[in-house]
Amino acid sequence: MSPTSANAPVEPRGIAARLLQGARALIALLSSFGLASALFVWLLVLTYLGTLDQVTAGLLHAQQTYFASFLLLHPVFGFPIPLPGAYLVLLLLFVNISLGTLRHLRRGWAHLGMLMVHGGILVLLLGAFVSFHYAYGGQMTLRQGQPVNYFERDHDWELVLTAPNATEDTPTAILPGALFADLSRQESRPVELQNTPFTLEIFGYQPEAMLLPDGAVPNRDAPVVDGFFLAADPPDAMPGPRAPGLYLHVTPKGESVPQTVLLWGLQENPATLPLDSGVWQFALRRTREALPFTLTLDAFTREVYPGTNTPRAFSSTITRTEGPLEERVLISMNQPMRYKGYVFYQSSWGPQNAGPGVERYSILAVAHNPADRFPRYACAFVALGMTVHFATKLIRHVRREMAGETR
Amino acid sequence: MGALRYSLLGAAIALIGAMPAAPSLPDDVVAAAAAVPIQDGGRVKPLDTYARFSLLQLSGRSVLRSESGDTIEAMPWLLECLFDPATAGTRDVFLIENPEVMEALHLDHATPRERFAYAALTPARPILFNLARQYGALPSESRTAAQKQTLQLASNLRLFEAITHAITALARNPDLPSLSDLLAGNAGGDDEQRTRQLALRFVALERASALAMIPPDPASNTPAEWKTPKALVQDALAGKPPAAAQLEVLRALEHLANTGLNAETAIADFESMKQAAARVMRGDRSFAQLPRELFFYRLQPFYWSLVLYGVAFLLVACGWILPRQRLLYGLGVLSLCLPLGLHILGIALRCVIRGRPPVSTLYETILFVTAVAVVVALVVEIINRRRVALGLGAFLGALGLFLAARYEAIDRSDTMPNLIAVLDTNFWLSTHVTTVTMGYAAGLLAGAVAHVFLLGKTLGSRRQDPVFYAHLSRMVYGIFCFGLLFATVGTVLGGIWANESWGRFWGWDPKENGALMIVLWGLAVLHARIGGYIQDYGLNMAAVFGGIVVAYSWFGVNLLGVGLHSYGFTSGIQTALTQFYRVESIVLTIAAIGWLREQGIIRIVLK
């Protein structure tokens, strides 16, 4: 061995050493400032694209396409280009911040501020992850004096079958959305039901349909029931609400010809079908989530600024009943009720054009989020950390400037 | 009949080709009228404020000019409308900014933006209201600019008519008892006759639906609602007689209608109205602030600050030419402190008047962001004394207040309005909104300082002074970090507020996204700087781009017309914003060329 080769750095040998070197390089990349910068810039681009998308495609579409996705296809000059979505970017950011904090920050008082800031951001990202996967919410409509012990989920739907002797609150069968949400318009799915005098087949499911009268559009491609049909692709400019809709083939047992039922999410009343055993009701409604307590609206108050229609305040006085326990609670704007992991917010009211003397109902938004308080802790960490860090920097800068001036 | 009268008068004026001179009203009469309380837009304000914003709404200005060049303030104009509607109807007040609208109404026009007198618009009144009816039925988001302007003009015409009828409709009628006597039950006759006479009075008041100057009945279930004489008659016909204080104000109004602005009696009438209202509103916080509001608008703190910021900038610029003059430097610092003090006083007065934190509307964000930018610039100047921050502070102060005045003229509505329910929370307004707007201010200031660096470098100014540029970069970095701190905390606080009010921390609302974009850009730049990916040039270019992100977040997202924060949608702002983006893009392009030249890349390419 020559003296030159004896002094040269020892080259890693073997697969283990190469793997170790590769792992180090990967960790260096994953924890680098460069990756952090790139991720922040990419999140900025996604945020911008998602904001613009809301104008044309609506909030839900933008959310699903840009912010909740791992990968997405964004049209560039008409060509769909695959791009990383916010979910993937945030995941990488979590890894980057965790590793970067460990790697770059030397322990000690001088870096305490930055440690707190990064800890806060991690808490925030963790909160976002928990909320994304485990939080759910919906709405609750309360009419004066009527107790309610459930709320309706925002984006989940269920199919409800009610026998002649049953009621809407205690239906005969509830078919979850998973049973039809994956169907395309052309597909159908038979449903096995017990204790019903008919067989059922779901078909023509459309997640964002309009209910239109026959003849409203030139090229109808769905069956007409009682003069109406479900339009899957109405023109964008066509005014009117959109909601999930589907068709049912109901075939009474012993018969071979099915009867067609049309169901649309925003129908006020259930569809009815007279059979030999009586009149059955069918409805497509938002999934109901049971609450472990009951809320009853005692009074709804809406105030406007005098002489205007500008709302000044609105609030609901409710009675919360849980077994023998009864408590009166006031829910108003910016003052929600938190109870047993649920949070109830004053969201809206109806009817919107109610004249004097018409009793208004109250609409509460309901949220169940295990990470409800995470942003608070994160905010406290970030604010305190940034204050400590920048104050340290500022003091150092001022001292340097002052020293420079005296020289 | 009234329309015909105005048409004939308008034709006569057109023939003569001159507008009447400014109304000559005694100052003490105008001052007494200005202090009379009135309820408008859901809040009680001085008549002076009502006059300002009514004139602004109609004409896009808060003062008028007579043909002879005299200035007509809002209050004398309102008094002329109230007591001499015929003359008021001949003044060019109604601003139309769309030639399509003028053509649809068959109005002769030489420019695309003109003001018309009521008399000139009267022949087009039927067409205007017919069009307004059609456009009003369209969904608001699908209306064109011309349709919106037509609706605005129709609304302005109604307002003018309501104002001009408000007092004249109360004048003595030889065939009927006075309204106050009828309402007080002093007119004699039986109930049927009284009801018939009240109904006749009500018909005469048909158009008099403006100026709720009659205080509420303290015994009423809805004590906060002030009344017009017309509403008082409606109440009486519904079986609700007026209270004593209400009758007192009505009598004063009738007396004014009968005697006009007679200097000897008018002041006493206005005083009587004020006293009656004060008795009813005793203990009311907002009513007690009326003298302050009157003072605020008389002081015009933002107008004078704008002027003084301009003076300060000139003084600082003189200091750049004569850098060794320490006296000039001291004067520059002092001259910036003066408008800043006045600016802060104005913001503080608004806070006291409305009992709210400094920022609750888009207009107030401009005032606040400007003040914060100037304060930060002053602090930076005190630390490094390079005269750059001083000059920029004065320039940004003047620019910000100029933009605030322009915004007020475009928005044309009360800048101290009531807040909708979700915003009516002082805690979140003073935490989230204040911190996030401080982030805006610092982001814009950092961008402004970066302009000095980039343009100086590109143009080759002070080439022999690298220390100067190093200081500028440090300044930009410091302000950038300051902005990032406040933008981040403000954005997270906004999320927490949303979580408290709407049940979600983050909803990807455009305004939320805009704030997030500022934070993300700040974090990207900060990490790139620490990682050594960008040096001074890159940092300064990033700061200029940061200014664009701030402008997009501040105003740009509001113009998208979607989301929970979609307010203040105006085409004037869109134009200004587009121009800002263009100018900043040019600055960035020039800076990029400068950087390429500094790196020797351009030379290599040319070779």
The answer on pLDDT for A1 being more than 90 is no
Lowest mean pLDDT among A34-48, A322-336, B64-78: B64-78
pLDDT digits (tens, 9 = 90+) for B122-133: 999 999 999 999
Nearest to residue A48, comparing CAs of B548, B272, B194?
A: B548
Q: What is the pLDDT of residue A39?
A: 97
What are the backbone dihedrals phi and psi of residue A154, each rounded to the nearest 5 degrees, phi first? -65, -50
The answer on pLDDT for A10 being more than 80 is no
Could you tell me the CA-to-CA distances from B302 to A369, B51, B356, B360, B440 in Å, in that order? 46, 19, 19, 17, 20
Residue B145: count of CB within 10 angstroms of its CB: 12
Task: Flag whether residue B425 sits within 8 Å of chain A, measured between CB atoms.
Answer: yes
Q: What is the pLDDT of residue B11?
A: 47
% of chain B beyond a pLDDT of 90:
54
The rounded distance, in Å, linking the Cα atoms of B198 and B209 is: 16
**Secondary structure class of B221 (helix, strand, coil):** coil
The answer on pLDDT for A335 being more than 60 is yes
Is A209 exposed, middle or buried, given 0-12, 13-18 or 19+ CB atoms closer than 10 A?
Answer: buried
Tokens of B593: 């060329």
pLDDT digits (tens, 9 = 90+) for B151-194: 999 999 999 999 999 999 998 888 888 899 888 887 777 778 88
Task: For Cα atoms A97, A101, A102, give the angle at the middle one, nearest 5 degrees.
Answer: 125
The rounded distance, in Å, linking the Cα atoms of B533 and B16 is: 72
Higher pLDDT, A142 or A59: A142
- Record: contact A386-B489, CB cut-off 8 A: yes
Tokens of B35: 């202090």
Is A227 exposed, middle or buried, given 0-12, 13-18 or 19+ CB atoms closer than 10 A?
Answer: exposed
% of chain B beyond a pLDDT of 70:
92
Structure letter (DSSP) for residue A64? I
The β-bridge relationship of strands A228-231 and A243-252 is: unpaired
The answer on pLDDT for B599 being more than 90 is no
The rounded distance, in Å, linking the Cα atoms of A103 and A92 is: 16
Nearest to residue B306, comparing CAs of B392, B403, B412?
A: B403
B501 contacts in chain A (CB < 8 Å): 333-334, 336, 345
% of chain A beyond a pLDDT of 90:
45
Lowest mean pLDDT among A94-108, B201-215, B307-321: A94-108
Higher pLDDT, B1 or A70: A70
**Secondary structure class of A290 (helix, strand, coil):** strand
A-interface mutation test, from B213, B513, B521, most A Cβ less than 10 A away: B513
Among B39, B488, B549, the residue with its CB nearest the CB of A386 is: B488
Tokens of B363: 């207009």
Cα within 13 Å of Cα(A403), Cβ side: 6
Q: What is the pLDDT of residue B4?
A: 45
Among B521, B531, B560, the residue with its CB nearest the CB of A34 is: B531
Task: Flag whether residue B501 sits within 8 Å of chain A, measured between CB atoms.
Answer: yes
Please give the distance of CA B243 from its chain centroid, rounded to a whole number.
36
- Record: contact A333-B424, CB cut-off 8 A: yes
The answer on pLDDT for B251 being more than 80 is yes
Q: What is the pLDDT of residue B330?
A: 86
Asked whether B79 and B55 are in contact (CB, 8 A), the reply is no
Q: What is the pLDDT of residue B605?
A: 52
Model ipTM?
0.83
Nearest to residue A362, comparing CAs of A137, A154, A151, A144?
A: A144
The rounded distance, in Å, linking the Cα atoms of B464 and B456 is: 12
What are the backbone dihedrals phi and psi of residue B225, each rounded to the nearest 5 degrees, phi first? -90, 120
Structure letter (DSSP) for residue A182? T
The answer on pLDDT for A294 being more than 90 is yes
Q: What is the pLDDT of residue A104?
A: 67
Instruction: Pick from A163-167, B30-34, B146-150 the range whose average pLDDT is largest.
Output: B30-34
Please give the distance of CA A180 from its chain centroid, rounded to a whole number.
20
pLDDT digits (tens, 9 = 90+) for B402-446: 999 998 988 888 999 888 777 777 788 788 999 999 999 999 999
Quickly list H helices, B17-144: 27-34, 47-59, 74-83, 85-88, 99-104, 118-121, 125-136
Cα within 13 Å of Cα(B42), Cβ side: 15
What residue of B is the nearest CA neighbor of A371? Answer: B505
Helix axes B362-384, B388-411, angle to 10 degrees: 170
Q: What is the pLDDT of residue B19?
A: 59
Q: What is the pLDDT of residue B98?
A: 87
Residue reference for tokens 């047993």: A340
- Position B439, amino acid: G
B220–chain A nearest CA distance, Å: 13
pLDDT digits (tens, 9 = 90+) for A136-160: 889 999 999 999 999 999 888 999 9
Q: What is the pLDDT of residue B8?
A: 46
Among A67, A365, A390, the residue with its CB nearest the CB of B503 is: A365
pLDDT band for A2, please (50, 70, 90 cuts): very low
- Position A108, amino acid: G
What residue of B is the nearest CA neighbor of A305? Answer: B42
Residue reference for tokens 């008028």: B64
Q: What is the pLDDT of residue A192?
A: 83
The answer on pLDDT for B313 being more than 80 is yes
Residue reference for tokens 């938004």: A365
Q: What is the pLDDT of residue B421?
A: 74
Q: What is the pLDDT of residue A395?
A: 83
pLDDT band for A235, please (50, 70, 90 cuts): low
What residue of A is the nearest CA neighbor of B478? Answer: A394
Across the strands, what pairs with B72?
Answer: B64
Q: What is the pLDDT of residue B533?
A: 94
Q: Report the pLDDT averaged over residues A251-271.
A: 89
Higher pLDDT, A320 or B206: A320
Q: What is the pLDDT of residue B263?
A: 79
Q: Report the pLDDT averaged over residues A33-44.
A: 96
pLDDT digits (tens, 9 = 90+) for A358-384: 788 999 999 999 988 888 888 888 878
Q: What is the pLDDT of residue B86?
A: 93
